[in-house]
Structure 1
Amino acid sequence: MNPITTALRLSLFGAILALAPVTAAQAKTPADQLIVGMSLVNLFSIDPANAPGLDASGVNANLYDTLLKRDNGNPEQHLPQLAKSWSVSEDGKQITFTLRDDVKFHSGNPLTADDVAWSLYRVMKLNYGLATTWKAYGYSVDNIQSLIRASDAHTLVIDLPQPTDPLLLIDSLATSPSAVVVDRQTVLKHEKNGDLGAAWLVTNEAGSGPFTLTRWNANDSLLMTRFDGYWGGAAKLKRVVVRHMTESQSLRLMLERGDLDLAYGMAAPDIKAIDGRDTLQVQSLQRGTMYYVALSMKQPQFADPKVREAVRNLIDYQGLDRQVMPYYGKLNQQPMQLGLAARLPDPGYAMNVAKAKTLLAEAGYPQGFSTTIRTLSEPPFTDIAARLQATLAEGGIKASIVSGTGNQVYGAMRARNFDIIVARGAERYPHPYFSLRTFAYNPNNSDDAGLPNFQGWRASFFSPQLNTLIDQAGVERDSAKRVALYHQAQSLYDQQVGPIMMISQMTDTVVSSAEIKGFSGDDAEATRYLGVYKQR
């Protein structure tokens, strides 16, 4: 038999073994493969134009590249990636990027500035939720090709269509899941009926990242293989195998037996039980993402600020923080990430059933009312929803829980078709402007505006006064004045009883074998496995 064919069969056989059902006799994981256990229930697309979820970001961070990246989550500092350098014009209206000339896509096609420009145009043309990021800067499908363009094969010129701090746009190019660069030639080969390859890219990729996508079976497994031609140097591991696992006890058992190398999404009791063992290591990462309770102001009850305030008084923030959220999140009641200089202290919301009943009676609901709570069918969402259901009942609000997949839950929210949702989302990297835009901003409250990236739009929350404050902060170059605007916006959101009520800032706890080295979780769940290896 041909030696190459034999080697290929053995290689595939190893991958199949890694994906096979676990048995008691299974040996330790292969030395050149990373076996990851996590829930894939929210992974329904990896198309960069339509994959806003955290799980998709974690996959795409390994399949694609961006022009640049943040320096350890610092919103003021960025590092080169596909762009080796960039400059901003004196008037702040134009940014010029010089690209690397040694980058090849997985297809073998060389990277050009046209690929970058077209990738952003594609996001706008398809007009899914992630297009909102670029609409906010003034881009449209009609102007983006003239404003974001290649001046030559390795030079990209970006003109800002409206007054904006250019640092904000640079930051979006480093952090938005829609800012990854796709291989234009490959994608267009798979175009059908003018969809710009949208149907194909749901389950395929056209990137330049350190890994290629070998196989993805929804709610089963995902296999990524090392791209040996990666411009940043080949990954240390040959494969990354992600197995769909939703049971925390199963994740724990497989880690203890050595059948998994790394696990996401373990329940707090299981993490606590193994924390401190010599054979395992626990890494806790603070994310920018928030857990929240959202009320739809399209519903007559929740359009009333007194009802929203009543609900705010029926959330057991402190109890959730102590009993449900350890290893999942940290108490945060502001629409802004912890640790930012522009963030005001928590307003001190707490459970107050008597006040809630008074507010409901004043709003015309002395006996309460019935409603529904949508949430994901996995912890901690189910636990938060159950606790919320119980505390709402103390105030007279009878809520039934409707659980489902990410597409079912967030799909209903994006369609503005819900009552209450327990969810997680928002700007992943720490930045006050993007936090407020995500939670409090809504420039157009009509159903057909199509602005699902704004949580405020999803909840039908519309405040022109807040919009103005956030817009002013986005163009203000004086740091003291900018912070003052952020403070005003947070105070106003509190006064107006914003319908998206933050309860916790995500803490992602990753448990891995002590053999795993070089793993450093990213604060936006865009963790790369490029430098990960096993020490045995």
Structure 2
Amino acid sequence: MKPIFNTISSILIGSALLMQPAYAETPPNMLVVGFSMNNILTLDPAAITGKEAVQVLANIYDNLVSLNAADRSKIDPQLAESWTVGDDNSTITFKLREGATFASGNPVTSADVVWSLKRVMKLNLAQSTSLKTHGFTAANAEENFTAPDEHTVVIKLPKKVDPQIIIMTLCLVGPGSVLDSKAVTEQEKDGDLGNAWLTNNSAGSGPFKLEGWRSNERVTLDRNDEYWGDAPAMRRIIMRHLAESQSQRLMLEKGDIDIAYSMSAADLKALENNEDVKVQTIGGSGFYYLAVSMKDEKFKNQKVREALRYLIDYQGLNDSVLPYFGKFRDRPIQTGISGALPSIGYKLDVEKAKALLAEAGYPNGFSTTLRAISDTPFVNLAPAIQATLAQAGIKAEIITGSGDQIYGAMRERKFELIVGRGGGGQLPHPDSNLRSIVYNPDNSDEAKLTNFQGWRTSFYDEKINKMIDEALVEANPEAQIKKYEEIQTYYADMVPAIQPFAEVVDSVGFRADIRGLELNASWSTELRTVTKER
């Protein structure tokens, strides 16, 4: 194990903590968070990928609307105080609140909202995918995002779609984040719309602003004194890169950090009897899965993919590795979402897998690589899956690394096997799961649909694309549920490139004197409500 990171006093040069002893209690007006930054590559809302960047930016940027943390089906006002859907379901009109300003002091106007939406589409980076899915493009952005006055935003839907899923999409950090257009434009270089500058800077209207980011070290947020809402109790938030779960646990126990976002099941379990620490668990977004690249000749074979389905120890993984992180689920729609069927109940069956491999022409198995990011719980999932693959003769070399190294290879479609986490679910709608995990409208390398897991795995099935599109626009609720059930059955029969083995749950450890912490299943947990009872 690497040495435990130095205490907070050692990193806050020039602060009041400089004279504090080791393992000093954190100040009452400063929140110290431990989490892994391995998957944070940029802080530009249009370009981010992964939950960790969302956890940071949710405290810097506001959206028009947000998903309620306690009730995922409820949409709360944020910069928009009200919104209406047109009678023909083709437009959505938002009315902005008066008096909101960005951290720069510039007023938040409808022009900023429209500019932010157009920017996402023009940059065509990771966060454009969720809007492109529903027909929005850089070419039609001018027509579909308009600001008839300073406090009104009108969104015209370019194709028939459930307007609620567009409103839900605008709740997400990334596609829905509203930027200070004046501040960002001033930093634009070579037509990049401020992309380079926003990698290390912020231009939001949220309760905090970015003071600094040192990759794989820490993110520092300062209270935004221009914030339009109730002032946060915390003057500063320090989000420290603590990749090792045990480091987070020890520092949480000592009081060196207030919140630990990414601890292992074993460390969370060990904290249950500690009166100074609490653990909060909620349903999360997406799945843990084993994925194959169908660019690889072996995995194009349906029998091979089916064999892999029976070389996952579903029960063992969920019992030993995934408490606090996931619960058994082998369907592509999360439990509790409209239309979700019960799990099929797949089990580890080595003999059945061997028979399938023999049918596929691999009676003695084969060699391959298995990628996983070097974070909890993946560092434990990968060896467990490697062991069960070996029982059928599949020799999988584990490759670990940062999010950029592992998911980067997946985004470039240059991998063989990966144990990953994803598959949508930030929106409480079955389309959010299906469109992320299996939908792929264009399988060409040039399409670069990196937010679609289906595209990343080179999986393409025209029938399921059509089924997903038709289900989304079905107006009759009962008929829509039936369509989603049919999709799940077809998904199982065709043996796709991604096999879920658990749905994500989110757990966080925090000091017992922390109040107001409420995890959000869309990863956008707001820390402005947090106080300390000291």
How far the C-alpha of 1:247 sits from its partner, in A, is: 2.0
Aligned to 1:93: 90
Between the aligned residues of both structures, percent identity stands at 45
State the secondary structure of the residue aligned to 1:169: helix
Are 1:200 and 2:197 an aligned pair? yes
Aligned to 1:159: 156
CA distance in 1, matches of 2:203, 2:283: 30
On the 8 A contact 1:287/1:429 being kept in 2, the answer is no
1:311 aligns with 2:308: yes
1:109 aligns with 2:106: yes
Instruction: Label 1:14 to 1:309 Cα distance change in 2 as closer, same or farther (>3 A).
Output: closer
Residue 510 (structure 2) pairs with residue 524 (structure 1): no
Structure 2 residue corresponding to 1:298, chosen from 290, 295, 299: 295
Unaligned runs of 5+ in 2: 1-8
Say which SS state the counterpart of residue 278 (structure 2) adopts: strand
1:439 paired residue number: 437
Cα drift, residue 88 of structure 1: 0.9
The one-letter code matched in structure 1 to 2:315 is Q
Contact 2:234 2:531 in 1 (8 A): yes
Deviation of 1:408 after TM superposition, in Å, equals 0.8
1:268 to 265, 269, 283: 265
Match of residue 49 from structure 2:
52
How far apart are 1:66 and its partner, in Å?
0.5
Task: Measure the CA separation in 2 of the matches of 1:196 and 1:158.
Answer: 22
Which of 412, 423, 434 is equivalent to 1:426? Answer: 423
- Residue number among 454, 457, 460 corresponding to 1:456 in the alignment: 454
Q: After TM superposition, give the deviation of residue 76 of structure 1 in Å.
A: 4.4
When residues 268 and 21 of structure 1 are mapped into structure 2, their CA distance, relative to the original with a 3 A threshold, is farther
Give the Cα–Cα distance (whole angstroms) in 2 for the partners of residues 23 and 366 of structure 1: 64
CA contact (8 A) 2:103 2:225 kept: no
Q: For 1:69 and 1:243, how far apart are their aligned partners in 2?
A: 26
Of the candidates 12, 28, 31, which is equivalent to residue 31 of structure 1?
28
1:43 aligns with 2:40: yes
Aligned to 1:242: 239
SS in 2 for 1:255: helix
Q: Aligned partners of 1:53 and 1:73: how far apart in 2? A: 22
Aligned counterpart, 2:487? 489
CA shift for structure 1 position 367: 1.4
Q: Which residue of 2 aligns with 1:515?
A: 513
The one-letter code sitting in structure 2 at the alignment partner of 1:450 is K
Residue 277 of structure 1 and its aligned partner are, at CA, apart by 2.2
Alignment partner of 1:83 out of 80, 84, 90: 80
**Residue pair 2:58, 2:173 contacting (<8 A) in 1 also:** no
- Residue 220 of structure 1 pairs with residue 197 of structure 2: no
CA spacing shift, 1:487–1:21, aligned 2, 3 Å? farther
- 2:277 aligned with 1:280: yes
Matches for 1:387-402 after TM superposition, within 5 Å: 387-402=384-399
Q: Distance in 1 between matches of 2:359 and 2:508?
A: 46
**AA at the equivalent of 2:486:** Q
Q: How far apart, in 2, do the equivalents of 1:198 and 1:332 lie?
A: 38
Distance verdict in 2 for CA 1:172–1:121, change over 3 Å: same
C-alpha change, 1:17 and 1:326, in structure 2 (3 Å) is farther
TM-score with structure 2 setting the length:
0.95
RMSD: 1.8
Change (3 A) 1:176 1:264: closer
Residue 13 of structure 1, CA deviation: 11
Q: What is the rounded CA distance, in whole Å, between the counterparts of 1:242 and 1:19 in structure 2?
A: 18
- Alignment match, 2:134: 137
**Secondary structure of the equivalent of 1:179?**
coil
Aligned partners of 1:219, 1:20: CA distance in 2, in Å? 22
Q: Find the aligned partners of 1:528 and 1:18 in 2 and give their Cα distance.
A: 25
Report the CA distance between 1:14 and its aligned residue. Answer: 9.8
2:253 to 253, 256, 269: 256
Q: Deviations over 1:134-186 (max 9, x none)?
A: 11111111111111111111111111111111111111111253210011111
**Cα deviation per residue 1:393-428 (whole Å; 9 max; x = unaligned)?**
111111101101001111111111110011112322
AA in 2 matched with 1:449: A
- Counterpart of 2:474, as a letter, is E
Structure 2 residue matching 1:175: 3-state secondary structure = coil
Q: Deviations over 1:226-249 (max 9, x none)?
A: 112211121011111111112222
Residue identity opposite 1:502 in structure 2: P
Structure 1: stretches of 5+ with no match in the other structure = 1-11
**CA contact 2:73–2:428 (8 Å) conserved in 1:** no
Q: What TM-score, normalized to structure 1?
A: 0.95
Give, in whole Å, the separation in 2 of the partners of 1:392 and 1:23. 51
Contact (CA 8 Å) 1:439, 1:455: kept in 2 or not? yes
- Identify which of 340, 343, 346 aligns with 1:346: 343
- The one-letter code sitting in structure 1 at the alignment partner of 2:506 is D
Distance 1:525 1:68, change over 3 A: same
Taking a change above 3 Å as real, the CA distance of residues 20 and 501 of structure 1, as seen in their structure-2 partners, is farther
Which residue matches 2:177?
180
CA displacement 1:307-349 (0-9 Å, x = unmatched): 0000111111111011111121111111111222311111111
Cα distance per residue 1:59-109 (max 9 Å; x no partner): 110000000112346564312110111111111001111111211001111
- 1:276 is displaced (CA, Å) by 3.1
Find the aligned partners of 1:403 and 1:363 in 2 and give their Cα distance.
29
Mapped to 1, the partners of 2:210 and 2:289 lie a distance apart of 33
Alignment length (residue pairs): 525
Task: Report which stretch shifted further, 80-89 or 22-31.
Answer: 22-31
Tell me the distance in 2 between the aligned counterparts of 1:505 and 1:22: 45
1:534 aligned to 2:532? yes
